[in-house]
Amino acid sequence: MTRGRLAPTPTGYLHVGHARTFALAAARAASGTLIYRTEDLDAGRCRPEFAAAAIEDLRWLGLKWTEGPDVGGPHAPYVQSLRLPWFREVWSLLQVTGTIYPCDKSRKDVERSLTAPHAEDDAEPIFPPALRPPLGAGREAREPGPTNWRFRVPDGETITFIDALQGPQAFVAGRDFGDFLVWRKDGFPAYELAVVADDHAMGITEVVRGADLLLSTARQILLYRALGWTQPTWAHAPLVVDADGKRLAKRTAGLSIRELRQKGKTPEAVLTASLDQLLR
């Protein structure tokens, strides 16, 4: 039985791109269970009013979930900022495997790691292996403490997976992505750890999200492997782009679900009409 999920980050109003990806996620889980999880770890950018608006907008679109912050469920809480004890536990599980190490890097890298690295933002330079500490560094730590932690990727190994929508994928560790942050020195997990921890804890069997997170999937597969957890199947939806081919997230004026609704557009139009039609 499929367990799918919607995992919005409440940094703004959801737009037509979100609407379409989430509708697809809901459709693919239609014969199973759909879970709603608010990913609000970035306290500086997330706001409760956006979290509430996302729920309202997705309900208006006709999406229905059986577990979530507004309806509860066996895996509550469904809000990441309330799940820190679990994330710390997963840090400990990783720590035992010897795959992570403490790392002192720039503040910018840390800020970037808070939210999912959607493709264009994923210009993070590959972490130079020369800056890695020796193997075993930090092994004695029992708590993450006020330090960043990175996952040591297996250089040169090709990480492959079959995406249900995009077909076969291959990313080379150390070339396409480097050692990535799993924990931040301010006491919060980085996106890659939090999303894997929660998808596993909530029994997610299929992850549906935008194609701009394909590279993150390679990182996440390494976390599943290190933790000895079964990975879900993956389905990355094509991104909605504007007439210039720009990802919608960069230009959402007039295209948030709320604005379209206020303009009298129907849920069906939001989900299927061309952007030109929607902007008219």
Q: Is the peptide bond before 125 cis (omega within 30 degrees of 0)?
A: no
Q: Which of residues 102-161 bind ligand GLU (CB under 6 A)?
A: 116
Q: Does 247 bind ligand GLU (CB under 6 A)?
A: no
Marked catalytic residue, from 64, 246, 250, 263: 250
Task: Give, as ranges, the residues between 15 and 54 that touch ligand GLU (CB under 6 A).
Answer: 39
Catalytic residue status for 250: yes
| Interface with ligand GLU, residue 189, by CB under 6 A | no
Among 3, 7, 51, 148, binds ligand GLU (CB under 6 A): 7
Q: Mark the segment that binds ligand GLU (CB under 6 A) among 2-10, 160-168, 236-244, 260-268.
A: 2-10
Q: Does residue number 8 form part of the binding site for ligand GLU (CB under 6 A)? A: yes
193 binds ligand GLU (CB under 6 A): no
Closest distance of CB 9 from ligand GLU, Å: 4
Which CB sits closer to ligand GLU, 39 or 109?
39
CB of 213 to ligand GLU, least distance (A): 6
Return the range that interacts with ligand GLU (CB under 6 A); candidates 4-12, 69-77, 175-183, 265-273. Answer: 4-12
Positions marked catalytic:
250
Footprint of ligand GLU (CB under 6 A): 7-9, 39, 116, 195, 209, 213
